[in-house]
């Protein structure tokens, strides 16, 4: 069985047949370009860095990382073969240098301490509490000393309007994996995985709720 066939696995828009529409839906509904650009800039990638995009999906963020830091070595990992097929085509069309790997986030097949930056966008709300912990443990293991984790995902709702708007995401992606996000639990889980200087660096109001950016450092 491929990784994406696990019973708890949530593909980009919940139902596999919708994956082909993912890029259009995202571009039309939330401030995708803006928050991904903020995440890229926040990641402060240096020439020679090894960078991993966990749950890269169709590789929009991965390509932005590769363009922003052409002298970095950029990897994208995702469990879904369909999303990776779209990613592969986009990367080839762009003539970019990105290595794609199909694997579950918490089983990422890389050597310990082999990355300087790990970046992830809109993935943690697809993971159960246990998978979130396992994935953060894996990120901690894969980062070198002083390496940084940068995450963008649904965060604690800023107000009742944002909490209500997030019900749309919860109805689509399920309550089990999304509730920790909207309750603002992610920073605590990042700390529990052994990261330091954990910060929520930014909050953006969107039509689907509050999007948060986080930054943390591997000791
Ligand atoms: C909402 S999409 C986000 C894609 C991309 N990061 C973006 O911002 O456009 C979530 C992605 O996470 C992937 N994913 C979900 N659970 C995963 C897991 N356990 N391991 C690896 N990838 C996973 C899905 O296949 C999907 O491509």
45 C-alpha vs ligand 1 centroid, how far in Å?
A: 22
* Phi, psi of 210, deg, nearest 5: -85, 125
Is the CB of 61 within 6 Å of ligand 1? yes
Q: Residue 139: pLDDT above 60? A: yes
* C-alpha–C-alpha distance, residues 50 and 66, integer Å: 11
- Identify the sign of the CA torsion 25, 31, 32, 33: positive
Give dist(CA 78, CA 60) in Å, integer.
13
Lowest mean pLDDT among 31-35, 60-64, 165-169, 187-191: 31-35
Distance CA 174, CA 7 (A): 13
Nearest-atom index, ligand 1, CA of 135 = 19
Domains and CATH numbers, the chain: 3-217 (3.40.50.150)
211 lines ligand 1 (CB under 6 A): no
Which tokens go with 24? 């259009």
| Distance of alpha carbon 48 from alpha carbon 67, whole angstroms | 14
| Residue 10 Cα to ligand 1 middle (Å) | 8
CA of 13 to the centre of ligand 1 (A): 9
Q: Tell how far the Cα of 151 is from the centroid of ligand 1, in angstroms.
A: 12
pLDDT in tens, 74-91: 999 999 999 999 999 999
């Amino acid at each position: 069985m491929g990784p994406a066939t696990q019973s708890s696995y949530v593909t980009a828009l919940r139902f596999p047949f919708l994956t082909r529409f993912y890029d259009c839906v995202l571009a039309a509904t939330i401030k995708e370009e803006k928050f991904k650009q903020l995440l890229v800039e926040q990641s402060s990638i240096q020439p020679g860095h090894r960078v991993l995009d966990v749950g890269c999906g169709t590789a929009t963020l991965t390509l932005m990382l590769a363009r922003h830091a052409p002298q970095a070595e950029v990897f994208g990992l995702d469990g879904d073969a369909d999303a990776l097929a779209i990613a592969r085509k986009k990367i080839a069309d762009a003539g970019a240098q990105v290595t794609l790997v199909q694997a579950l986030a918490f089983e990422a097949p890389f050597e310990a301490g082999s990355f300087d930056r790990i970046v992830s966008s809109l993935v943690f709300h697809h993971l159960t509490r246990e998978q979130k912990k396992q994935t953060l443990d894996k990120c901690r293991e894969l980062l070198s000393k002083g390496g940084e984790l940068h995450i963008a995902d649904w965060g604690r709702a800023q107000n009742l309007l944002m909490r209500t708007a997030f019900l749309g995401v919860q109805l689509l992606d399920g309550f089990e994996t999304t509730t920790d996000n909207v309750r603002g639990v992610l920073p605590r889980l990042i700390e529990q995985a052994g990261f330091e200087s954990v910060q929520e660096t930014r909050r953006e109001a969107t039509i689907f709720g509050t999007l948060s950016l986080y930054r943390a450092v591997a000791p």
